[in-house]
Structure 1
């Protein structure tokens, strides 16, 4: 009731200008976007609330410069772009001008604190240097390999084999989230939540993490000012407070246990930071939460869309199976996943179409002019969309809508082998680019390729909803709305 009164008190003076009722198109996207005094594109944003990513994509792709403005309520103006030259400008060329900004930091601070994803300037440089050193060690890479192998062979594959034997339907998205959560918790602070075991149990820590991420992201979309709701401790802000308390208390409990150990094995990231002399409780807790955030949602979402795309492209599956068999016959039990060139290309192609972070934003710290001539004022948010950039015909050709791993491959005249050809990171910005490029990129590919080799080499994954199943991407994250129900069959 109190939330409703707050919304009414804010928008009652605006009712006299509600003269526009958007219509529904066959695609589900309501158009055209019409801006009104004071409330801007509020009605269009509200009407497209269930598919904002697709709506934004349509706007930028219809712009000659691949850049446009969105007018938010109360005079806020935001730049939205899919222009590679603009992306390079904000992520590299003029990097110091485009940072997280106060709005982003305030919105996410309750959840991720002063971790690497929520700081800028000297704070960011310090954490980046520490993290970069640890991520580049061979010992961490071997530890990640061990974690993934155990989770894959002792938990994921037995669950899939059981589903195949009993002809049961499982939600593959849920299974992959559990796989990613177990893996990243072990890698981050040496804790095994045992989220992916046959009983598929609930986990207070995992549920709290989901609640915190969802509610924090909703702060950008809700009309009711979230700071007022937090002050009154009502609704979603009350739930967020409870979830964050659960996450931080548990993280600090694990941290204190490690501090009390007589001999710390430097395998997981938390132990590595402790052994290097960093003992500040808040700093280490923020580090752990940020690492879990980066590793859980992105990997599971990426693999969910990947397996759906494979189910629609049997020829791609055949090539992946052929490559897996070649690696096996070469006396390697796919230890060297770097040799799986076609599989790597297929993952990149899936990420092009369904990036785990479909949009990302920076805030301008000074007035600027973007390379395409767009004017940016100090304090303005500039958002780039990897999802839209994967659909730019000028970059990917008229067949951009096709799932075609071959677009990443080229025949090497010298070796007579097919080699992988990476794309310009400012055209393919799935892992960001420039100084903030994702530190865990190689770790993510290692994890995904090992999982694909283990699963596709043995099982067929068939959507339980039929061949015509067209999943919907949720607005707040890149998850599939309603999950991904599948049947598992042993590969002949």
Structure 2
């Protein structure tokens, strides 16, 4: 290399570094002025309610949240923070990520509908994908739209109203309920019931975990799957909380649970793909193929050729189909068991069936039963909190200024969390007694975005009618079969067991008194 070239070499490096630095400064200045214009044009003011004392990393809030997680008071802490601030939107930090927490219906409506494309699910895919792959609950954009298009036809009324299947599983649950006044944990039975009905709905094969109550389940393949699925789902929450730190734990038990779940579901996917291939071959040979009944997994196999895609979507739907219904029933019966007046009103309403099994239309017309479900979803929403990550600079209509009444600027990279648990406790929407379980309030309530039991907007839960139908049916049948219910919970106070959904930490311990006039004894 010539001497002149040697002299020019560091000069080129310095010039390149200088240009990069100048570009960075220019980009930052341009971003600053662009944001200032956006803030001015929209009349935004900063969020003055800040929850963390550490303004840089929010370590104080992280520590407090971990303490609350261990004491099962995360939801209560968010509620208390809103009460203490006297505002419905406040700011915080998660390490380097800015965080906004809101319980304003207009803000939530903006996030979930009006500016839906300004937000993504954030880190959810990384935490969910080891178990769920890429399905409807943890993807964005075109992938999510394709998943929703694939699944939507499978949740029409004809599929979600299979009351005969619900009755079969209910009768198995009925056998596990003591008739002599002994205490039973209905929550455990509800979770068995819903995984049994959900696996039958999805795979055309039920786990039948209710058949194994009190038996040795260690060597039963279905029972092993049900147990592994419960553990793998709880492990998702650990990954969410740990974030990037999750990669540093071995998590042998979590990985084994996921392997068991995938192998179990793959077996039914393989069967469905073989069924489709045989069906196509028969059609190609001119055979008139008739299908006896609807099977969810067969319909997916018709529409998707990728086995992993079918498994991913099945795992996604199973997650929702099992937990939302079981949590709803558990939370509701925890409250009802303490209120003989509510049980008496349910008995009076269900008496109109004259002991007959309800039809789908009759279930929908049981008004007081519907009020009880609504009230449970209000007081104890099964998905009590959620969040979205801003993928671009955007605006929320409320949260800025001294009283939170002005628009709020949301920079790209901000996590916006919303709490239905806290919002459902606002007295300005639900009356002066929002902490009380009172189904009668629904005689006049006609809520909009202030009531969010199944999310809203384009991502509203596809299976909400399935969950409500199953919960209605099970409640109606229990009311028919039992004359009374008594709470056996030692504290009488509901405490949160928060995973991806929320149920009672202490279970739903009750005693049920059979109706001597019932056909079941």
Q: Cα gap change, 1:313/1:199 in structure 2, threshold over 3 Å: closer, same or farther?
A: closer
SS at match of 1:168: coil
1:296 offset after TM fit, Å? 0.9
Question: Which residue does the alignment assign to 1:247?
Answer: 261
Contact 1:307-1:461 within 8 A present in 2 as well: no
1:107 offset after TM fit, Å? 1.2
Contact 1:34-1:44 within 8 A present in 2 as well: no
Question: Which residue does the alignment assign to 2:502?
Answer: 478
> For residues 177-188 of structure 1, what are the structure 2 equivalents within 5 Å?
177-188=191-202
Match of 2:175 among 153, 158, 168: 158
Question: Which residue does the alignment assign to 1:53?
Answer: 75
1:464 offset after TM fit, Å? 2.1
2:442 pairs with 1:408: yes
Question: Which residue does the alignment assign to 1:68?
Answer: 90
> For residues 3-22 of structure 1, what are the structure 2 equivalents within 5 Å?
none
Question: Which residue does the alignment assign to 2:408?
Answer: 374
CA distance in 2, matches of 1:490, 1:352: 29
Instruction: Give the TM-score, by structure 2 length.
Output: 0.79
Question: Which residue does the alignment assign to 2:167?
Answer: 149
Count of aligned pairs: 434
SS at match of 1:118: coil
Q: Cα gap change, 1:43/1:277 in structure 2, threshold over 3 Å: closer, same or farther?
A: closer
> For residues 322-333 of structure 1, what are the structure 2 equivalents within 5 Å?
322-328=348-354, 333=358
2:197 pairs with 1:169: no
1:64 offset after TM fit, Å? 4.1
2:322 pairs with 1:296: yes
Question: Which residue does the alignment assign to 2:304?
Answer: 278
> For residues 166-315 of structure 1, what are the structure 2 equivalents within 5 Å?
167-197=181-211, 199-201=213-215, 202=217, 203-222=223-242, 225-229=245-249, 234=250, 237-261=251-275, 262=278, 266-274=293-301, 276-315=302-341
CA distance in 2, matches of 1:480, 1:449: 19
Q: Deviations over 1:419-461 (max 9, x none)?
A: xx6421x111111111111111111111011100100222233
CA distance in 1, matches of 2:357, 2:261: 40
CA distance in 2, matches of 1:210, 1:84: 32
Q: CA RMSD in A?
A: 2.2
CA distance in 1, matches of 2:305, 2:203: 14
Contact 1:187-1:269 within 8 A present in 2 as well: yes
Q: Cα gap change, 1:315/1:486 in structure 2, threshold over 3 Å: closer, same or farther?
A: closer
2:152 pairs with 1:122: no
Q: Deviations over 1:356-405 (max 9, x none)?
A: 11101111111112111233221221111111111011111111122221
Q: Deviations over 1:76-112 (max 9, x none)?
A: 22111111011100011111112212x1111111111
Q: Deviations over 1:141-163 (max 9, x none)?
A: 34x3222121113x012222xx1
SS at match of 2:235: helix
Unaligned 5+ segments in structure 2 are 1-50, 218-222, 280-290, 399-406, 517-521
Contact 2:338-2:487 within 8 A present in 1 as well: no
Question: Which residue does the alignment assign to 1:38?
Answer: 57
Contact 2:389-2:413 within 8 A present in 1 as well: yes
SS at match of 2:412: coil
Q: Deviations over 1:39-92 (max 9, x none)?
A: 43223223322311111122234444411122223x222111111011100011
CA distance in 2, matches of 1:207, 1:66: 39
Q: Is the deviation greater in 190-199 or in 278-287?
A: 190-199
SS at match of 2:313: helix
SS at match of 1:479: strand
SS at match of 1:284: helix
CA distance in 2, matches of 1:332, 1:43: 52
- Structure of higher CA gyration radius: 2
Contact 1:89-1:95 within 8 A present in 2 as well: yes
Unaligned 5+ segments in structure 1 are 1-31, 411-420
Q: Deviations over 1:197-229 (max 9, x none)?
A: 253453111111111111111122238800232
Q: Cα gap change, 1:37/1:364 in structure 2, threshold over 3 Å: closer, same or farther?
A: closer
Instruction: Give the TM-score, by structure 1 length.
Output: 0.83
Contact 2:203-2:296 within 8 A present in 1 as well: yes
SS at match of 1:114: coil
CA distance in 2, matches of 1:447, 1:45: 35
